[in-house]
């Protein structure tokens, strides 16, 4: 059973998936920081300093209980999702265009094939005939 588990873990697709999860986690931190630290302050500046996370409403129940609906946090989560999705889309487009450029780059022309023995012999004969004619 231990050998089977080792074989399973060492398969390429499991290892690739693990690397993808690790890189995805790191990319998630980058995109979250992009949204929270760069894009949202710009949106707040454009919208007059609105902090969506503070938007809420309080509802009074029949029995006197109060319920606070923090819909601003939901709006912030939707905006975060959309901005992260756009950032991921842009990254995929950039990587795809780089791959296409790499694939479209012309390959170096193949080296000319080595002459056959017959061609070498004919070349020697030609050179000898030219040499005799020049004498």
Averaged pLDDT for residues 82-107: 81
Angle between helices 12-33 and 71-104 (to 10 degrees): 120
User: CA 86, 88, 91 angle in degrees (round to 5)?
Assistant: 110
Averaged pLDDT for residues 47-54: 80
* Separation of alpha carbons 54 and 105, rounded Å: 52
The pLDDT tens digits for 12-25 are: 677 777 778 888 88
**Which of the two residues, 59 and 52, has the higher pLDDT score?**
59
**Which of the two residues, 134 and 12, has the higher pLDDT score?**
134
Domain assignments of the chain as residue spans, ordered by start: 2-105
* Separation of alpha carbons 60 and 66, rounded Å: 5
Q: How far is CA 21 from CA 4, 25, 29, 68, 69, in A?
A: 23, 6, 13, 37, 34
pLDDT at position 12: 65
Superfamily of domain 2-105: Large-conductance mechanosensitive channel, MscL; domain 1 (1.10.1200.120)
Q: Quick one: what percent of the chain has pLDDT higher than 90? A: 2
C-alpha 60 chain-centroid distance: 49
pLDDT at position 85: 83
- pTM score > 0.85 for this model? no
Averaged pLDDT for residues 85-100: 84
């Amino acid at each position: 059973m231990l050998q089977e588990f080792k074989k399973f873990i060492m398969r390429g697709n499991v290892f690739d998936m693990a690397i993808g999860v690790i890189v995805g986690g790191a990319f998630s931190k980058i995109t979250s920081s992009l949204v929270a630290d760069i894009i949202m302050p710009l949106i707040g500046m454009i919208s007059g300093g609105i902090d969506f996370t503070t938007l809420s409403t309080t509802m009074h129940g029949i029995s006197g209980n109060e319920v606070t609906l923090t819909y601003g946090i939901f709006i912030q989560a939707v905006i975060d999702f959309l901005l992260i999705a756009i950032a991921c889309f842009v990254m995929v487009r950039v990587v795809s265009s780089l791959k296409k450029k790499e694939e479209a780059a012309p390959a170096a022309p193949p080296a000319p094939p080595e002459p056959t023995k017959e061609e070498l012999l004919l070349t020697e004969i030609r050179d000898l005939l030219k040499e005799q004619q020049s004498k």
